[in-house]
Amino acid sequence: MNQQSPRSDHRRGAPAAHPEGPIARPMRRRTLAGLTAALPVSAVLGAAAQAAPPDPHPGRGKGPGRGKGRGRKDPFRLGVENLMAERLDLLAGASVGLITNPTGTDSALRSTIDLLVDAQDAAGFRLTALYGPEHGVRGSVPAGGYVEDYTDEKTGLPVRSLYGKTQKPTPEMLEDIDVLVFDIQDIGARFYTYIWTLYYAMEAAEENGKRFVVLDRPNPLGRQAEGFVLEDGLSSFVGLTAIPQRHGLTVGELALYFADEFLGGDLDLSVVPMSGYDPRTPQTVDSPWVLPSPNIPTRETAIVYAGTGLLESLNVSEGRGTTTPFLWFGAPFITEAHADQIIQDLSVLPGVLLRPMSATPTTSKHVGEFCGGVQIHLVDEEAIEPVRLGIHLIATLLRRVEEADWREGEKCRTAEDTCWIDNLTGTRRTRQMLEDGAEPDAIVDAWKKELKDFTRRARAHHLY
């Protein structure tokens, strides 16, 4: 999401040689709240409790979507819709702060801000403040742009920035609220910063004795995890704690995972789950796509971003400033011959087709320069492996295009350097393996071993 995300000092957690030899260039080493009662994290129930007997093992049993086939008949409802229909008691008598952005809507695209304002008198709570993540509450700030405090023109509410002087709410920012509500669409990638706004806000709520409510939303990448788990020493606002690059959890499930794995155990957390949601088929969700940030305009973009976002680490445009961000990449030094070679190399990958395409970015890398490149067409959402795709993209660009380099250039030459590719992949091993000529799928095989422990731990927090 952000090319220049600030570093954080927060706590979390034998390559195969390419047949053409190592990549080398001169001077370069390459809460749920169930729908019946507000429960603590240790007693999480699924949504749709009225449709099934209570789970004897809350949080680990059949909750919504578990054990059900793809032909499920349950109507889909977002967490915010279940909140408004049946769980406003969670907010009764409270002063409420809302962390949201333009994705905070119901399925009819009514803003969560407006829904809470309209409901507050009858339900006996007061919406007191709004909190803005990267891009701001109304989504008007570009990637990495400083988000200011201000007064919201429509509601008159104070908007407190969580992407300006601080990414973590201060005690002063929380002093006039009793409960923080989080309602933002995530897209399933560790380096998408909204989940770290969630983490910091949960941590601040725990430290300041505030209740926390998460309104759950789909993960467009579904349940599968990919990529290395973040290593100790590489914590930043594009990855604070030890989760993989593609985490396979909804924001509500992530909140439960964060609370149990990383926080102190004193947070009063509720998650309002979705109804009628199957993480195996997130593409069937009957809800309009609202772009969560300026460069994720479509659902297809969101699906590939967990992999093509790695292109931010190169001196190649990832498509910012074009009509197809993260679905196109290019540079002035990429020729038609390069494009053909790249497409041939990537033809083994499932779920995508590629074609040569030229573009002139209007912002970011190579702004105003005519660039040769390649467009990615998503043809099978269920088959695509976006992180694997991203690793293959980086590998073939470095191998096939002499001028392709890490974006830091001379500052990214040794194993001791910390480069943007290290922050994005959560490890220096990816860069080292690429530099040593490893096949891209050798990197994939390496992370699969690590994912077993994460998926085991995460499974305990699945709600669907």
Structural tokens at position 372? 């040769």
CA 346 to chain centre: 25
Report pLDDT for 252.
Answer: 98
Residue 387 CA: distances (Å) to CA of 228, 246, 301, 350, 422: 10, 7, 13, 12, 14
How many C-beta atoms lie closer than 10 Å to residue 16's C-beta?
Answer: 15
Residue 366 CA: distances (Å) to CA of 309, 318, 406: 17, 10, 15
The predicted model scores a pTM of: 0.85
CA 327 to chain centre: 17
Report pLDDT for 51.
Answer: 33
Distance CA 138, CA 2 (A): 17
CA nearest to 218, candidates 139, 289, 136: 289
CA nearest to 82, candidates 270, 278, 279, 302: 270
Q: What is the full DSSP assignment across 395-452?
A: HHHHHH-TT--BTTGGGS-STT---HHHHHHTSSHHHHHHHTTB-HHHHHHHHHHHHH
pLDDT one digit per residue (tens) for the chain, 464 residues:
544 443 333 333 333 333 334 444 333 333 455 443 334 443 333 333 333 333 333 333 333 333 334 445 689 999 999 999 999 999 999 999 999 999 999 999 999 999 999 999 999 999 999 999 998 898 777 777 888 899 998 999 999 999 989 999 999 999 999 999 999 999 999 999 999 999 999 999 999 999 999 999 999 999 999 999 999 999 999 999 999 999 999 999 999 999 999 999 999 999 999 999 999 999 999 889 999 999 999 999 999 999 999 999 999 999 999 999 999 999 999 999 999 999 999 999 999 999 999 999 999 999 999 999 999 999 999 999 999 999 999 999 999 999 999 999 999 999 999 999 999 999 999 999 999 999 999 999 999 988 999 999 999 999 99
Distance CA 317, CA 324 (A): 11
Helix 79-86 with 112-123: angle, nearest 10 deg = 20
CA nearest to 372, candidates 383, 362, 359: 359
Distance CA 438, CA 24 (A): 12
Report pLDDT for 139.
Answer: 76
Surface-to-core class of residue 105, CB atoms within 10 Å of its CB (0-12 exposed, 13-18 middle, 19+ buried): buried
Would you say 206 and 187 are in contact if contact means Cβ atoms under 8 Å apart?
no
Strand order, beta sheet including 352-356: 328-331, 372-378, 352-356
Report pLDDT for 73.
Answer: 61
Report pLDDT for 1.
Answer: 59
Report pLDDT for 40.
Answer: 40
Distance CA 145, CA 294 (A): 12
